[in-house]
Amino acid sequence: MNILLLNQYYPPDVAPTGQYLHDLARRLMARGHTVTVLASRSSYNGDGRYAARETIDGLDVQRVGGLNVGRDNLLLKAVEYGWILARLAVRLRRMRPAPDFVLCLTTPPFVGAVVRACRRRQTAYGHWIMDLYPDVLFAHDMIKPGSWTARRLAALARYTIGGGAFAVGLGPDMAARLTPYAGSAQVESIPLWPLAAPDAERDAVQALRCERGWKDSDTIFMYSGNMGLGHRFGELLATVEATASNPAVRWVFAGGGKRRAEVVAFAAAHPETQLELLPYAPPDQLAAHQLSGDVHLMSLDNRWKGCMIPSKVQAICRLGRPIIFVGGRDSSPAQWIMEYEAGWVVDEGDTSALQAAVASALDPKERARRGAGARRLAKAVFGAESNANRLCELIETCIPASHLKSS
């Protein structure tokens, strides 16, 4: 059977959504399906352009033109989204043979509306929700809930998601938040899984720490990944300042994003703190980089609860590193961490509790205990085979039996 996967980004691009889509595509191919990917030629960071068509791991990857404006200018980004949606509509209309099923991710936003408008009657489609629109726009304060624009976008979300066979969220809170848009579509919660990555040897981790000038006696509190609008940094930076006199505590912020500038400005204004800024880790060094941190930091503004779930939690837990999470206790990451004692959960604005969590994390035995909880969490909730297979099976249930037999 022919399955079409639709997302703005796809490898060799570095966007996490594309990486997960590629992993799913390979699994679908292994189950005997013919898989085609339709993506954009523009890159996640706006610094590259990809071939219009190529074969990657046996997959037919087709791309439509994008404007390659990057992620910083919101107006230009909106223009690019509109341009890509229009190009996708043309390509979908012309595609022969018609796919048996289309799986839509959520970049560009509302891409499922194009699929619903352009699909042939026999083609089913579903959604794998990575970022929930329009709720992301509400959380970002770009649009006020209840406004005329908000009502129109909510109607578009109901048209988009409700017209599909299913909508998969990344956690229970996301599934609950997307349910009002789903109509008769089946709503599922399927957490992401750790993508296959080479395990880091102990020597490689130690060498990386030495290269960075970190001593064995240092406890590294690491924020690694996207520093985006949905994350919180006020509590973390206040605690960095409060622990400046403790030589055993080192803070590392590695990655990029729209809020990295805040961390850069803080570091410049507080040279007395042990705060180090690093770029994103190269893919071949990612496991060693993550293991070089003793405790990982995560945050999620409560307004963004259910709109997105940071994907790094899966990799960190697989590696057995505990997490300090700042955000609402009813969010999916907080619930997972508390249930499996995989780290510490701190409420928004509670810097005293955050400092207490840091003090607790300085105990190697406590770190090891909670790191073991992180491994249990990864095994129980983020299993690659169980979660990816659930998604594959959900897709297969939407395809007529006659099509399955003919494939």
How do the domains of the chain map onto residue ranges? 2-193+384-406, 202-381
Cis upstream peptide for 11 (omega within 30°): no
Distance between CA 351 and CA 349 in Å, rounded? 6
pTM of the model: 0.90
Strand order in the sheet with 323-327: 275-278, 249-256, 219-226, 295-300, 323-327, 343-346
| Mean pLDDT score of the chain | 91
Distance between CA 51 and CA 67 in Å, rounded? 14
Q: For residue 227, how far is the Cα from the chain centroid?
A: 12
Is residue 385 predicted with pLDDT exceeding 60? yes
- Specify the CATH superfamily of domain 2-193+384-406: Glycogen Phosphorylase B; (3.40.50.2000)
Tens of pLDDT, residues 122-180: 689 999 999 999 999 999 888 998 899 999 999 999 999 999 999 999 999 999 999 99
List strand residue ranges (DSSP E) for 289-329, in order.
Answer: 295-300, 323-327
pLDDT of res. 137: 92
Amino acid at 223: Y
The two beta strands, 59-64 and 186-189, are: unpaired
Looking at the domain 202-381, which fold is it?
Answer: Rossmann fold (3.40.50)
Residue 125 bridge partners (DSSP): 102
The residue whose two tokens read 């969220």 is 169
Is residue 407 predicted with pLDDT exceeding 70? no
Q: Are both 2-193+384-406 and 202-381 of the same fold? A: yes
Is residue 46 predicted with pLDDT exceeding 50? yes
Tens of pLDDT, residues 178-237: 999 999 999 999 999 988 665 678 888 999 999 999 999 999 999 999 898 999 999 999
